[in-house]
Each structure stands twice: as structure tokens, then as C-alpha cells.
Amino acid sequence: MKGSDTNIKVLEKSLGYKFKNLNYLSTALTHSSYANESKAKIKCNERLEFLGDAVLGIIVSDYIFAHCPDFPEGELTKLRASLVCEKSLCKFSKSLNVGDFLKLSHGEANSDGAKRPSILADAFEAIIAAIYLDGGIDCAREFILRFIIPDIKDPKASMFKDYKTQLQEIVQQNREETLEYTLVDQTGPDHDKRFLVQVCLNNNVIGKGKGKSKKEAEQQAAREALKLMGY
């Protein structure tokens, strides 16, 4: 077993949230193996994990919908999936040293369960639910965005880039240059269309892109243009 109700307040400080009811956080840190091994009737974090997953999904979806206006549905889906995947949640959990506070069975503890990505990711979701139940959606949002926003702004995370905005910022450095996106072609039935867009710099084609929507095609055209320009 790792973690206790006495040192749980150390984690509370790392979370940046003071619980009115510490039982929520205690349950969030209780793995099913510990609950099953215990002779007392103890709740594990599986139900909290379920709720936390839903809260995380709506908060991340709401944020990227508002802050990535040029991203089509497909790109938004990819972005959300990347932000809430096990790898990301495990990373967030490790940054808080959640593994040091987990309540695990002797078997799990001895087999490095506190370092297992799936257990750490599930615990992070359970913590989200604990904060949501204790303080409401605004507190949960504030907590989640502490981790999500830096990942979105990470320049190494190329899939998060708004290529149109990046291209526009580069071109704007010279006020005499102008960008224009033109729909070249569209094919397919109404329910499954494909669009071909080209982007021109001073009437010269510098990129072409295809997509299931005009916005997606424009993003791909801008991406090709950036490659041509060496970015």
C-alpha cells in the first residue's frame, strides 16, 4: 500500500485545490486491487474514473472548439484524442507524483503498479472527478486546463498547429504580400464530398490541399505552403 489520509494533503497542495471533503481524493487514489484486498468495505476509484473521463472530454472539447476555430471536425477529434490519451494522462499524473500516493494491493505495489501508465492515467481521471464532485465544473476546468493548454501551445506538437494562422503570421511580416485561398475542385456525393483548395501568395500558387471540408483543405494547403517556405 502507498498513500494515507495523513500525507494525502501533500498531494492536495500539488493539485492546487483544497478539498472540502478529502474522502473524494482518498477514493480517487484507491486502486481496485487495494479495495479487494482490504477486509474493510472500501470504495475504489473505478466509478470516479468513469465520471472523470466524461468531465475531461467535455472540458477539452469546449476549449479546443473555442480556441481552434479553423480546425474541422476531423482535426478537432484528433486533437482531443491526443490530449486525453493514456500517454498524456500518465504524463500529467507523473508531474504531480500521483504514484507516491496511490493505495495499491501488496501485489500491485511490489510489481511497480504505481508506475504503470494505465493505473496513473486512471487515477488522474479519478482525481478530476473528485475535484468536480467537491468543487464543481469550474474548479475541474481550472485544474484540467493547467495541463491541457501547455500541451496545445507546445511548438513540438505539430498536430496542434493551426497552419493557416502560422502562414498568415509569416506573410504579414511583409505588408505588400497577400494570401488568397481558392476552391479548385470538389468531388463526391453530398454526404461524402472532397474539396481541393490552393493557396496563392501574390497570385502564385504555393500550396494545395485536400480535405472533407473547405477548412480542412485550406489547412492542408497552408501546411504544404509552409513546407515549401522551409517551415
Q: Rounded distance, CA 211 to CA 217, Å?
A: 4
Residue-wise burial string across 192-211, b where 16 or more C-beta atoms lie within 10 A, e elsewhere: eeebbbbbbbeeeebbbbeb
CA distances from 31 to 3, 49, 129 (A): 11, 11, 15
**Which member of 37, 46, 53, 162 is catalytic?**
53
- Does the active-site annotation cover 125? yes
Which of 75, 125, 134, 216 is labelled catalytic? 125
Q: Please choose, from the candidates 136, 127, 71, 75, the residue with its C-alpha nearest in 3D space to the C-alpha of residue 98.
A: 127
Phi and psi, residue 179, nearest 5°: -110, 145
Q: Catalytic positions, please?
A: 53, 125
